[in-house]
Chains A and B, each alone.
Chain A
């Protein structure tokens, strides 16, 4: 079944991305546009994710929609053994759009095949998380004025970081230069390095992380190095403090450099960094609201023109 679902944005053209960025810009100027009055948005969270759910539900509410759904699958029929297909079919009778988070990879793709109601993937296992990618792109675009020709540093867990991989694939079209900084155990997987080579994307790999390594950086994308990712705990003990960003490392940075982080952080960005002009992770989370308003409108066929027109009412 063909519909306007958003399962992945990795294959979106530059024009499509720009269109969504322009939508998000409109929503940042005025997030309260009741374009979805009378519509029902379902948020189905088969795996809890408070941050993503609140962001999507706020987006829906600010667009004037009503929200139904669940945040804990224990309270639903899926815990009684109902298939995903049946749950989606049932909810499709009620809602105009379904926003779903699932712990299984490929769940969103499958859901989009069994219903005519558009699905927005709010994360499927460690596979894809397009709304996170969209808000990352918006944050980069907003702070740098462009997505083209940027030096993007990715730091920490590059092996399991879903947001890192999605961002890498989405930035590929904009001639970036990537620097991957990670401990050996968590370095960028071969398949993504191959992806860079196949698409002529420049990248450098290194393991050191200090004031001098980040001097030409435009975007510093930090992630958490998690203890449970290590098979060798001695290795974890050795590297756990090597990828922590401290305020005194920012002295030689370019003035436009911004620090992003998908949050939640634990200790990989010290609190004294929060006051720096380079810190951007909280605004980044706020940008999630505008990016998600854009995505919800797009799947429901509401255009940039419609959004602009509403603003002048």
Chain B
């Protein structure tokens, strides 16, 4: 059904309800190379899952951080020349710089042309704004 990737990335173990968020986030609708989007695939680990294969796409660290915020524990595989050169679970970084937006409307970051900066607490999945000090859950956070 699907040809093997020569060069590109595979994002696997996407929760089914997050698949289209990921598609939107990566702006795959504007992508010109081959893209394969699949959902509700059987999975031993999570029963049903989503998956995205993107030809000729290699993620930057910022993009990976964004993915980690939207859904933790997704798997990223990098393929070059038909060979898997990297395979890893994406974990949240300790800090998110200019990735997400502060929920506090009177935070300076929402009123100045500046970068946001959050410290991440992995156990509680919360992000604390370096500027206003407000904490928010990563599950409701908005990307910048």
Which positions in A face B, CB cutoff 8 Å? 83-85, 102-107, 109-110, 124-128, 191
Contacts and interface: CB of A to CB of B under 8 A. Distances in A.
Contact of B106 (A83, A109, A125): A125
B133 A106 contact: yes
Contacts of B134: 105
Contact of B130 (A83, A85, A103, A109): A109
Contact of B107 (A84, A85, A104, A128): A104
B112 interface: yes
A105 B106 contact: yes
Nearest to A102: B108
Contacts of B129: 106
B133 A127 contact: yes
A167 B53 CA distance: 54
Contact of B108 (A106, A126, A128, A191): A106
A104 B134 CA distance: 13
A126 B108 CA distance: 12
A275 to B, nearest CB: 40
Interface string B117-144: 0000000000001111111000000000
Contacts of A103: 106
Interface in B100-118: 104, 106-109, 111-114
Nearest to B110: A104
B115 to A, nearest CB: 10
A106 B113 contact: no
A19 to B, nearest CB: 25
A110 B106 contact: no
Nearest to A114: B114
B114 to A, nearest CB: 6
Contacts of A107: 108, 131
B112 A85 contact: yes
Contacts of B111: 104
Interface of B: 104, 106-109, 111-114, 129-135
Contacts of A109: 108, 130-131
B112 A83 contact: yes
A105 B114 contact: no
Contacts of A106: 107-109, 129-133
Contacts of B132: 105-106, 125, 127
Given A104-B106, A105-B132, 20 more contacts: A84-B108, A104-B108, A105-B106, A105-B107, A105-B108, A105-B133, A105-B134, A106-B107, A106-B130, A106-B133, A107-B131, A109-B131, A110-B109, A110-B114, A124-B108, A125-B132, A126-B106, A127-B132, A127-B133, A191-B135
Contacts of B104: 105
A101 B38 CA distance: 53
A185 B114 CA distance: 35
Contacts of B114: 85, 110
Interface centre among A105, A107, A110, A126 (most CB of B within 10 A): A105
B103 to A, nearest CB: 12
A126 B134 CA distance: 11
Contacts of B106: 103-105, 125-126
B144 to A, nearest CB: 16
Contacts of B131: 105-107, 109-110
A110 B108 contact: yes
Q: Which 10 A-B pairs have the closest CB atoms?
A: A106-B131, A105-B132, A106-B108, A106-B132, A104-B108, A107-B108, A110-B108, A109-B131, A105-B107, A125-B106
Contacts of A85: 112, 114
A232 to B, nearest CB: 24
